[in-house]
Amino acid sequence: MSDLTRLGAAEMARLLRDGELSSVELTQAHLDRIEAVDGAVHAFLQTLPEAALAQAQAADAARAAGEDLPALAGVPIAVKDVLATKGLRTTCGSRILENWIPAYDATVVRKLRQAHLPVLGKTNMDEFAMGSSTEHSAFGPTRNPWDLERIPGGSGGGSAAAVGAFEAPLALGSDTGGSIRQPAAVTGTVGVKPTYGAVSRYGLVAMASSLDQVGPVARNVLDTALLHELIGGHDPKDQTSLNEPVARAVDAARLGLGGDVKGLRVGIVRELGGRGYQRGVLDRFDEALGELRSLGASVREISCPSFRYALPAYYLIMPSEASSNLARFDAMRYGLRVDPQTGPVTAETVMGATRAAGFGAEVKRRIILGTYALSAGYYDAYYGSAQKVRTLIQQDFENAWEQVDVLVSPTSPTTAFKLGEKLDDPLAMYLADVATIPVNLAGIPGMSVPCGLAEDRLPVGFQILAPARADAFLYQVGGALEAALEAKWGAPLLARAPGLPQGPSRTEGGVK
C-alpha cells in the first residue's frame, strides 16, 4: 500500500473497518512521519509513541472482538496543548505550566479515548493561545509545511501544521478569534470553529471564556465533519454547553460533496475585503465564488457595518477576560514557582517573580491591557463600550440571516507571512484575524476551506459563516466548494505542497 499518511481519515477508517489495515500499522506510519519531518516543522511539543501504539492495539483488539466501534476508531489524532490530558503534560505553550500534569482529561479528549483514537501527541501553540503565528510559544515557533521560513498561523499553528505536513490526519484546536481558521487558511487545511457551546470547553485552559471554542482540523471537509460529530454534544460539566443534538455535519458534507447547493443564498461580507487584502487572496476568493455560482447558489453582497469595530472591541473583551482567567497562575497551587532573588519571600513577591519569569511578552501585554480596561474609572469607557459593539455585531449578523443562508469572506487578508516579520508590530499581527474575529464575538460557527494558491504559491482560505446552531450549512457549502475546486485542480490542494526536508528525531515527552 502507498504512503498511509497521505490518505484521508474517512478512507483510513474504511480500510480499518474492512480489515485491510490495522490501527497499529496506521499509527506507526504517522509516528515514522513525525520522526522524519517534525524536527523541521516543530508541530509537536511532545509525542507519545508508546501510549499511541497501546491505544492502537486496544482499537484493533476491540474490532477483532466484534465490538460496534465509532466511525473514526483506530484513526490517530493530534491534540492542541491547551487541552488537559490526564497524566500527560499540558503546557499551553508557556513556561509557567511547563511541568503541569493534569489529573483529568478534557471532555473532548475523553471522547477521543472512548472512541479509540490513538493520540499521537500534543501540538505547539502561541502561549495561552495568544497570537496569530505560533511564534509566541515558549518552546520555539512552528513552521509552515509549505515554506519553512513562514508562519503556520496561530494560535493553533501546531495542529494545522501537523495535519498539513501529513504528521496526523486529524487534530483538535481551539478558536478564540480565529485560532483554528486562520492557521487552516495559511496551511491549506480545513478548520472549523463550531457554534459556541456546541462542543464542550471542560478541560480547555481558558483564555477568554465567552469567546473560546474547541473545534476540528483535517485535510478535507468530510474528515472534519466526522471529527466534529465525535467531539460535539452536551456536557453537564460545562455550564455554557448547549443541550441540543450534535450537528448533522457528515450528512451535510456528503450532500455538499455531491454539488447540492442549488438555490442556497450566499452573502459576501462587504467589510471583509478590499483594502489591506492581498491581491492573490481576493483573486482566489472570487474564483471560488464563481464555482458556487456555477453550482446554482445565488450570491449577493451584504453589509455588516459594525464589523469595522470588531478588532478594537475584541482587543478589549479578550484581554479583559484573559487577565481574569490567568490570575489563577499564582505560584501557590500548581505550575511554576520562582522565589524572589532579593527581599522578603511573601505571597506577593513570589507571584511577581513567577509571573515575570513564566509569562512571555505577548501574554504580559494582554494581561496589562485587560487589567487596565477593567480598572475602576475605565470599565464603562472601555470594556462596557466594547460589549455594546459586540451587540451591534450580533445584530449585523441577525440582519444578514434574514437575507442569506451563509456569509463568506477570505479567511485571512494575506497568505502566510515570514517568521519574525511582524513580531515587533503587534497591531500588524492582530490584523491577521480581522476577518475571523466577528464570528467569536457573535458565537456563530465558521469554517475555513482551501480555495487555491496566491501569486506567492501559498495557500488561501475561503471562510464560510452560518447562523448559530446551523453548523451543517458550513459542511454543505464547504463540501460543494471543495469538490468543485478539486475537480478543477485534478487533486486536493495539499497534493501540490512542496516536499519537506527531514529533520532530527523527536523523543517521547520531548518538550523543546
Q: In whole angstroms, what is the distance from residue 197 CA to residue 213 CA?
A: 7
β pairing state of 446-453 and 459-465: antiparallel
Instruction: Decide if 160 contacts 217 (C-beta within 8 A).
Output: yes
Q: What angle do CA 31, 175, 140 make, to 5 degrees?
A: 50
Q: In whole angstroms, what is the distance from residue 107 CA to residue 87 CA?
A: 15
Cell of 255: 450532500
DSSP per-residue letters across 21-84:
S-HHHHHHHHHHHHHHHHHHH--EEEE-HHHHHHHHHHHHHHHHTT----TTTT--EEEETTB-
- State the pLDDT at residue 171: 99
Cell of 466: 452560518
Instruction: Decide if 406 contacts 266 (C-beta within 8 A).
Output: yes
Q: Tell me whether the omega of the peptide bond preceding residue 179 falls within 30 degrees of 0, making it cis.
A: no
Please give the DSSP secondary-structure letter assigned to residue 366: H
Query: How many other CB atoms are found less than 10 A from the CB of residue 369?
Result: 18
Cell of 76: 490517530
- State the pLDDT at residue 511: 47
β pairing state of 77-80 and 119-123: parallel
Q: What angle do CA 305, 393, 205 make, to 5 degrees?
A: 140
How far is residue 228 CA from its own chain's centroid?
A: 12
Q: In whole angstroms, what is the distance from residue 319 CA to residue 301 CA?
A: 32
- State the pLDDT at residue 334: 87
pLDDT tens for the 512 residues of the chain, in order:
569 999 999 999 999 999 999 999 999 999 999 999 999 999 999 999 999 999 999 999 999 999 999 999 999 999 999 999 999 999 999 999 999 999 999 999 999 999 999 999 999 999 999 999 999 999 999 999 999 999 999 999 999 999 999 999 999 999 999 999 999 999 999 999 999 999 999 999 999 999 999 999 999 999 999 999 999 999 999 999 999 999 999 999 999 999 999 999 999 999 999 989 999 999 999 999 999 999 999 999 999 999 999 999 999 999 999 999 999 999 988 899 999 998 899 999 999 999 999 999 999 999 999 999 999 889 999 999 999 999 999 999 999 999 999 999 999 999 999 999 999 999 999 999 999 999 999 999 999 999 999 999 999 999 999 999 999 999 999 999 999 999 999 999 999 999 887 755 444 444 43
Catalogue the active-site residues.
Answer: 80, 155, 179
Tell me the backbone φ, ψ of residue 173, rounded to 5 degrees: -135, 180
What length does the chain have?
Answer: 512
Domains and CATH numbers, the chain: 4-307+391-493 (3.90.1300.10)
